Each structure stands twice: as C-alpha cells, then as structure tokens.
Amino acid sequence: MSRTVTDAAQAASELSERFSRARRAVFFGGAGVSTASGIPDFRSADGLYHQHFRYPPETMLGHDFFVSHTAEFYDFYRERMICLAARPNQAHLKLAELEREGHLAAVVTQNIDGLHQMAGSREVHELHGSVHRNVCRGCGAVYPAEWVLAHGGVPRCEKCGGLVKPDVVLYGEQLDERVLLASVRAIREADLLVIGGTSLVVYPAAGLVSYFGGDEVVVVNRDPTPADATADLVCACDIAAAFDF
C-alpha cells in the first residue's frame, strides 16, 4: 500500500535514502520538472492549455497544423516553446549529481527544453525530442534554437532552401523508435523508478512506466497521478524542493 508525504523536507529525506541504496535508478519526468525554471507546464491551472490563443495549443502542436499553418505554428513555437533564458533548477541539478555518484542510470524525459543536459546529465532519453535540434527536411542539416529565433517567418535551410522542422514529436507523430527502445530498456533494468513532474496522461510515453519490474516506485508530483495507487511512496509536494538533499 502506498504512503503519501506532503512535507518537502520529509520527501527529500525519503528520496535521499532510496537513491543512496539504488544501483540503477531511473527518473521518468515531465513538464512539472521545469516549472521552477520558469517554463510553464500544460495541464495545471496556470498551464499552457488554460491560456487563450487563436487555436487550442493541442491543435497548434499537431503535425497537421504544422503542415497546413506553418507560419502560425512557428509564431507559437518561437513565443511559447523555446525558452532559452531558462536554467536548471534543483531537481535537474540533483539528478545530474546522482548520476555522477553512480546512483542514477538514466533520465527518461517528456520535456523538450534540454535542461537535464544543461545541468550535467549525460544519459538522457528525450521521448519528445528537443527544441535545440531543428532539422532541414530536405538535406538533414541541423540548426540550433538560437538560429530559429533569429529567422522570422518559416525558417528555410541555408544550404538547400528546404523547410526546417523542430526535432520535436508533434501530436499525430510517432515517437523515435531508438529513443523509445532505449527508454524501455532503462526502465526495465532499473531497481528504483522515480516518476516526477508528470500527470501520466500523455501516451504512449506514460505507458513506459509499466515496464518497470524493480524494487520500488516513487512518485513526486504536486497533483495526483494514475501511478499513486501502486507506488511505494508518493511525495505530493514541490519537486524542486523534494530534490533538495
């Protein structure tokens, strides 16, 4: 039966203990990991899906919208999806430290902001891609996010003139098979799975936690998730504060 703690200091103590005895811990995270870095999540009261735009965000982040309204897609993408001023928070930094110490084997993230790598994490599986890679659909040339921000309208490749598309998984697109398989392998081989900052409602990514067969599952999320009922520990508190140990 799961146990719930709401005090961040207690959550930090519990997490520290579990990571200290883990040999191959894996962290599975979502948008809530980056909110303390100033990047809004999607489904909370202050999230992206509760803001008003000409089209619903779910529509503007879809493959069909990218094809049919490319200029409007890029207006939204530049304004809302690229946050280059954001910096890693305590959760990102502690996860990188745990990896260096040999307690964390991998991070599996639904985020596209690159903050785990900026914090120093090396084994990061980006299920939904990254804003830091933007790929020409003609010749495959790769451009950084800074280049996309500097080029207004629809960005075109400097080498072949082809359309440049963010290397992010839009609604209606398949996850990268190599990233998916690597994520499944990491979760399957883990002895501790910590699920943090995610509502676990976006599939197929959320379904990956079902591959875990290790010793303990811990959920660190402000709001309830479908995994709470079967988790060994639920930390219902701020995730950055919970990783302050």
The tens digit of pLDDT for each residue in 160-187 reads 999 999 999 999 999 999 999 999 999 9
pLDDT in the model for residue 43: 60
pLDDT in the model for residue 114: 98
Evaluate if residue 32 carries a pLDDT over 80.
yes
Of all residues in the chain, the percent with pLDDT exceeding 70 is 95
pLDDT in the model for residue 46: 54
pLDDT in the model for residue 49: 57
The average confidence (pLDDT) of the chain is 94
Q: Beta strand 104-109 with 233-235: parallel, antiparallel or unpaired?
A: unpaired
pLDDT in the model for residue 2: 81
Domain 1-38+88-128+174-245 matching CATH 3.40.50.300: the answer reads no
Is the C-alpha dihedral spanning 116, 7, 13, 200 positive or negative?
A: negative
Determine whether 128 is an active site residue. yes
Cβ neighbour number for residue 226 with a 10 Å cutoff = 12
Active site residue: 92, 103, 128, 132, which one? 128
pLDDT per residue over 15-29, tens digit each?
A: 999 999 999 999 999
pLDDT in the model for residue 50: 57
What are the domain boundaries of the chain? 1-38+88-128+174-245, 40-82+134-168
Class of domain 40-82+134-168: alpha beta
pLDDT per residue over 89-100, tens digit each?
A: 999 999 999 999
Q: What is the pTM of this model?
A: 0.93
Evaluate if residue 51 carries a pLDDT over 90.
no
pLDDT in the model for residue 40: 83
